[in-house]
């Protein structure tokens, strides 16, 4: 998918503002471009919120060990957030070209450890972008 100059400028800003840069820069750009092109800014806000929740639950899950109190609940919440993010991405992909759809299908819609890692990385980026917003 070809990214507009506005999307590229936003990515440059985000990449520079996030310590260590974005992990899924191109995918964030694709999501931004689809939302901008089809006038669904609210969808980006929802993806950003769900990605942030996914990242926060994953971060909490990493701090405890299997068998610890609350581990199972966090694991279940992580699965819920991850699936919600995947559903939101799938909705956005209705407007994507075939090449982009296939790429997102391979990266985010399977059930392998690599796919889960990709979702976590995207959640990281979305959480960091959300963190750049001015407090309301």
* 107 membership: H or E segment, kind and range: helix 98-108
State the SS3 of 34-68. Answer: HHHHCCCHHHHHHHHHHHHHHHHHHHHHHCCCCCC
> pTM of the full predicted structure?
0.94
pLDDT of the residue at 88: 97
Instruction: Read off the pLDDT of residues 80-127 as tens digits, 9 standing for 90 and up.
Output: 999 999 999 999 999 999 999 999 999 999 889 999 999 999 999 999
Domain boundaries, given as residue ranges, for the chain: 5-131
């Amino acid at each position: 998918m070809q990214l507009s100059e506005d999307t590229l400028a936003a990515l440059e800003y985000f990449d520079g503002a996030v310590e260590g840069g974005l992990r899924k820069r191109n995918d964030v750009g694709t999501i931004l471009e689809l939302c901008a092109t089809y006038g669904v800014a609210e969808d980006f806000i929802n993806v950003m919120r769900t990605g942030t929740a996914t990242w926060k639950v994953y971060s909490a899950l990493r701090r405890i060990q299997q068998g610890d109190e609350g581990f199972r609940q966090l694991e279940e919440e992580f699965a819920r957030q991850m699936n919600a993010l995947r559903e939101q991405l799938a909705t956005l992909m209705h407007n994507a070209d075939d090449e982009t759809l296939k790429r997102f299908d391979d990266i985010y819609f399977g059930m392998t450890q690599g796919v889960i890692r990709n979702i976590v990385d995207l959640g990281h980026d979305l959480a960091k972008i959300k963190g750049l917003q001015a407090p309301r």
